[in-house]
Amino acid sequence: MKKFFTYILLFILTFSFLLPFLIMVLGSFKEVEYVLLDPFFWIPNDPSIANYTYIFRDGIFLRWILNSVIITIIPVFSQMFLCAVLGYIFAKKKFPGREAIFWTFMAVIMIPQQLLIIPKYIMFAQFGWINTYWALIVPELWGIMGVFLIRQYLQGIPNDFEEAAYIDGANDIQIFFKIILPLSIPVVATVGTFSFISNWNDLFQPLIYMTEEKMFPVTVGLASLLGKEGNFGVEMTGSTLSFIPTFLIFLFFQRYFTEGIQMSGLK
Amino acid sequence: MKKISFLTLLLVIGLVVAGCSNDTSGGAEGEVGGEITVWAHPFTGDAEKEEEMWDKISTSFQEEYDAEVNIEIIPWANRDQKILTALAANNGPDVFYAIPDQMPQYADVGMLLELDPYLEGYDMDDFVDSALVSTTWKDKLYGLPILQSVDTLFYNKSVIEAIGEDPENLPETWKEFEAWAVKAKEQGFYATSFQGGGSMNNTLYPYIWQAGGDIVSADNEVLINGEGGVEAFSFINKMYKNGWIPEDSVTAMEQNALWEDGQMLAILGSGNTLANLQNKGKIDFVIGPPLKNKKQAAYGTTGMFVVPSNTDNPATAAEFVKTLTNAENQRTFNKVTQYIPARESSKDIFDEQPFLSQLASYTQYTLPGVINPKGRDIMPMIQAQLQAMLEGDVTPQEAADAAAEAIEGAVSQ
Amino acid sequence: MTLKNNNKRFNKTKSKLPFKERFRKNAIVYIFLFPILIHFAIFQVFPFLFSFVLTFMDWRVIGNSEWVGLKHWVNFFNDKLAWKALWNTFMFSVYYIVPTMALGLILALIINSGVKFAGFFKGIFFLPVVTSFVIIAGLWGWLFRGTDNGMVNWVLNIFGVDSQLFLSDSGQALIVLAGLSIFKVAGSTMIYYFAGLQSIPNQLYEAARIDGASPLKIFWKVTFPLLKPIHFYVAIITTIGSFQIFDSAYLLTGGGPNYATTTIVFYLYQQGFSSLNLSYAAVLSYALFFVILVVSLIQRKYLGKESSFY
């Protein structure tokens, strides 16, 4: 009886979580300009790939994908590494002002990015970074939420290994690479995946920093294809295309998630 | 010690700020040449056709002048923010697209280049008068118009028949429209659309103008709670309370679905509505004239290209705006985008398009919104009062008075 | 673990150990922390201070800006709308934080309860996290259309409930927007809770069961308290997200009806980029910053302290 109830609940939840995704994918095969009243308007009774051929009409879409890959992959790897290092520093190292620095980091990410955009833009313009990858890569090289997660994780790991290694004469860079990093691979993979999702899907920053069509990432490129009124079919197609890589990354790394987020302190 | 270094930091930042914004020069100096960047937007959603169009226009410029033109197509999303941010860093375009309620706001703080010095010997008489009104602020011209649009009512023919009326004989006044609305409601249709979450230009303002009122004048006289204003508030309230406009009209951003599904007698639309209707061919429609109560009036935008005052190449930028808005290029542009050209001589592109020429004939009634530097600031304030009225919290008179008070506060700052 | 203790211990070490030894144990701090601090100063602190300077000026996009002292700060304290926007933001958090955590936990409990194809369902619940916000927002607006033919209204009508106005009703609009965010974020909350649940040892449950505790009691006495570090992390990320809410108001309600969904970031966006009043927008962002700071200090005090026991 309890099982039955669980499955009913599971079914309802599955349906509602699946719905936007179904609308997106099926809608991409339908030529319809805006949302209609009919609850099933997005089901293509006459499926067409017109929206896809429109998006792929010239090579520029591939260039947008390349741009997205560049501005995503570099920060992802850099974040995985630097967040691990910083997580280790803030979890295990003792130095004056450690807590103060960490909580300053935490405080500053709470500022709305909408406001920082003008000072940042002025600065990037001075650096000559507008319409270059630098503007989207350099500020994203590490991220405080990743540091926070890894710090939480490492705080739960006993110091025994580390101390044994010190006694053996290792320095702490060796300890980081030989002991800490291997131990934190699952949580680092989690940080990498979330960083991938957020960088790949970011529309706001590239929209402001990029004006040349050939520098657009996929998100901005797709927005530039839409007229003033938008176009439902093209929007769904674009979203489906940019959705695929993020979802694949999730599927591929999700087995790490569970391990990664588990904190040893829970045992 | 700490205090001093903090003050130094402030000073440095202050200098950076001042240094970044110390660049305002005027006058028609300089040769045409070099390189300029133009920001346009995806007007239609057909990127391919638009690219061809821009190629053609910039080629026509380069045939005459030895200058390079980069056309950059900027998405509409967060467009204000993008332009302001780039201009603040002195890194913006040399020419960009603006609409009439943006222009005075930008011009008033010295962001735009006055174009008059560049216009000697240029054919200005051919421009539609109502378009030039929208590009002028305090007797100075800051932009040249490229397109016009007019909002009017598109009627669904089968709904007209269902309520037993004659599609040849469409309502012209509020009274006539009310009579139709009552019948439509009886038959289970909505009479018209009202996108209360959108711009007041497409909702409240046209009704105010039709009632003979106005919102606020260029010299800050607040008129919204005058007789015409209150009448417009009351009329909208009546439409909502009687169910002539949809229940979600308080905040709706669009109501296309109801129209597409044939549940609405008439939708307020413009050129793109026409283009959509023609492309799909699903709904049989007729276009009606803008309504009148005391005065026939409609909102109509005027799209223009302007030059920011911090451009490095004002001569070339101004020259390009002139070329872009000449008779031939207006034809090229408006054929693709399906707007109404802002020049009389270019209107010949409609010869084979009866609906477009019908729309063009209404441009004489159009008003471009509130032409005041605070025009866009006051919109959310008025919107809030209108919404409060529709929710039943205040009467039309109270809403109009509260809106007037809010406008008073904004313009006196 | 407080700052003071750290300092003491550090000082002791410093006096005892030679530099080489200290470097061996802390090389990573010297090598990485300083570049990161510089990076942080350039990309976070500088823009933040820059906007602080803006609050004392009438800043022009082009042209000369003037110093106006505390004018914008004084305006802020008299601006009823700014306080309303702060209040709306606070109410949004109330509607959003706990339900997001609860839904994430429920999803995790279902997946962890031994249902078949758990991995598959986990993927489905994660879908909204990776789907673009614009799509989900559009869909949400469509489901909660305020007319009789809106999907949710249609369902309500079947059960004999009158049609609701949803986004067009100042009492409901903010809740509907919170619902949208809950739906979008619950999938990632679920991931954190699922990981937490997986690491609770089975013996604990068995012991409780032998004691004759009901499933509900086991949940409240065993599972829930053991998830504390997860509660802490998830509370922090959802709090930050809730205070910065902007997109859904921008896309679905335009801040209405009658300012009911004008959140602080929406209001500062409007002030800054529609009204060209960037200096005042900077004041508003500082106001928001102080609010978040206070809230997170409180959270840290009540949640963070206990989590450090683990």
CATH number, domain with residue B318 = 3.40.190.10
Distance of CA C36 to the CA centre of its chain: 24
Asked whether residue B164 falls in the same domain as residue B206, the answer is yes
The reply to whether residue C165 touches residue B18, judged by beta carbons under 8 angstroms, is no
pLDDT value at residue B405: 94
Q: Rounded to whole angstroms, how far apart are CA atoms A165 and B388? A: 69
In a domain, B108, yes or no: yes
Residues of A in contact with C37 (CB under 8 A): 101
Distance of CA B234 to the CA centre of its chain: 25
| For residue B130, pLDDT beyond 70 | yes
In a domain, B131, yes or no: yes
Domain boundaries, chain A: 55-266
Listed in order, strand segments (DSSP E) in B22-129 are 34-40, 67-73, 95-98
Mean pLDDT, rounded, of chain C: 84
pLDDT value at residue C82: 92
Asked whether residue B197 falls in the same domain as residue B284, the answer is yes
What's the total number of domains in chain B?
A: 2
| For residue A80, pLDDT beyond 70 | yes
| pLDDT digits 0-9 by tens, A139-168 | 999 999 899 888 888 887 788 877 888 888
| pLDDT digits 0-9 by tens, B165-183 | 999 999 999 999 999 999 9
Residues of B in contact with C170 (CB under 8 A): 387, 391
The reply to whether residue A227 touches residue B45, judged by beta carbons under 8 angstroms, is yes
pLDDT value at residue C304: 56
- Mean pLDDT, residues B262-291 taken together: 89
Query: B91 and chain A: CB distance < 8 Å anywhere?
Result: yes
DSSP secondary structure letter of residue B252: -
| For residue B1, pLDDT beyond 60 | no
Query: Which amino acid makes up residue C303?
Result: L
Sign of CA dihedral A217, A187, A18, C105: negative
Asked whether residue B256 falls in the same domain as residue B390, the answer is yes
Q: Closest-CA residue in chain A for B74?
A: A224
SS3 content of chain A, % helix, strand, coil (to 5): 75, 0, 25
Asked whether residue B213 falls in the same domain as residue B189, the answer is yes
Q: Rounded to whole angstroms, how far apart are CA atoms B362 and B365? A: 6
Q: Closest-CA residue in chain B for A32?
A: B280
| For residue C182, pLDDT beyond 80 | yes
In a domain, B10, yes or no: no
CATH T-level fold of C80-307? MetI-like fold (1.10.3720)
Domain boundaries, chain C: 80-307
Q: Which tokens in the block code for residue C299?
A: 């959270």
Of C14 and A151, more confident: A151
pLDDT value at residue B373: 87
Residues of C in contact with A242 (CB under 8 A): 132
pLDDT value at residue A259: 66
The reply to whether residue A34 touches residue B88, judged by beta carbons under 8 angstroms, is no
pLDDT band of residue C12 (cuts 50, 70, 90) is: very low
DSSP secondary structure letter of residue B99: -
pLDDT value at residue A117: 83
pLDDT value at residue C17: 66
pLDDT value at residue C308: 43
The reply to whether residue C32 touches residue A86, judged by beta carbons under 8 angstroms, is yes
| For residue B8, pLDDT beyond 50 | no
In a domain, B24, yes or no: no
Out of B110, B249, B263, closest to residue C63 by CB: B110
CA proximity to A213, closest of B146, B41, B131: B41
* Neighbour tally for B53: CB within 10 Å: 22
Q: Which tokens in the block code for residue B287?
A: 């276009």
| For residue B231, pLDDT beyond 60 | yes
DSSP secondary structure letter of residue B268: E
* Neighbour tally for B392: CB within 10 Å: 10
- Mean pLDDT, residues A119-148 taken together: 90
Tell me the ipTM for this assembly. 0.87
| For residue B121, pLDDT beyond 60 | yes
Asked whether residue B340 falls in the same domain as residue B407, the answer is no
Say whether the peptide bond before residue C257 is cis (omega within 30 degrees of 0): yes
Asked whether residue B407 falls in the same domain as residue B286, the answer is yes
> B409 in helix, strand or coil?
helix
| pLDDT digits 0-9 by tens, B282-336 | 889 999 999 999 999 999 999 999 999 999 999 999 999 999 999 999 999 998 8
> C224 in helix, strand or coil?
helix
Q: Rounded to whole angstroms, how far apart are CA atoms C239 and C234? A: 8
Counted residue by residue, chain A has a size of: 267
pLDDT value at residue C305: 53
Q: Are strands B34-40 and B95-98 parallel, antiparallel or unpaired?
A: parallel
B157 to chain C, closest Cα gap in Å: 22
CA proximity to A83, closest of A193, A191, A196: A191
Q: Are strands C57-58 and C66-67 parallel, antiparallel or unpaired?
A: antiparallel
pLDDT value at residue B94: 95
- Mean pLDDT, residues A188-196 taken together: 88
- Mean pLDDT, residues C150-178 taken together: 90
pLDDT value at residue B3: 44
pLDDT value at residue B17: 46
pLDDT value at residue B29: 58
Query: Which amino acid makes up residue B50?
Result: E
Q: Rounded to whole angstroms, how far apart are CA atoms C181 and C98? A: 12
> C14 in helix, strand or coil?
helix
* Neighbour tally for B90: CB within 10 Å: 20
Query: A142 and chain C: CB distance < 8 Å anywhere?
Result: yes
In a domain, B2, yes or no: no
Q: Closest-CA residue in chain C for A246?
A: C130
Asked whether residue B292 falls in the same domain as residue B307, the answer is no
Of C274 and B220, more confident: B220
Residues of C in contact with A197 (CB under 8 A): 129-130
Q: Closest-CA residue in chain C for B107?
A: C62
Mean pLDDT, rounded, of chain A: 85
Distance of CA A70 to the CA centre of its chain: 13
pLDDT value at residue A258: 66
Structural contact between residues B357 and B291, judged by C-beta atoms closer than 8 angstroms: no
Q: Which tokens in the block code for residue B50?
A: 């638009």
| For residue A108, pLDDT beyond 90 | no
- Mean pLDDT, residues C44-54 taken together: 89
| pLDDT digits 0-9 by tens, C92-117 | 999 999 999 999 999 999 988 888 88
Q: Which tokens in the block code for residue C144?
A: 């909660």
Domain span holding position B243:
152-298+377-411
What superfamily would CATH give domain A55-266? Answer: MetI-like (1.10.3720.10)
Q: Which tokens in the block code for residue B6?
A: 């903090």
CA proximity to B151, closest of B249, B40, B291: B291
Distance of CA C23 to the CA centre of its chain: 38
Asked whether residue B251 falls in the same domain as residue B122, the answer is no
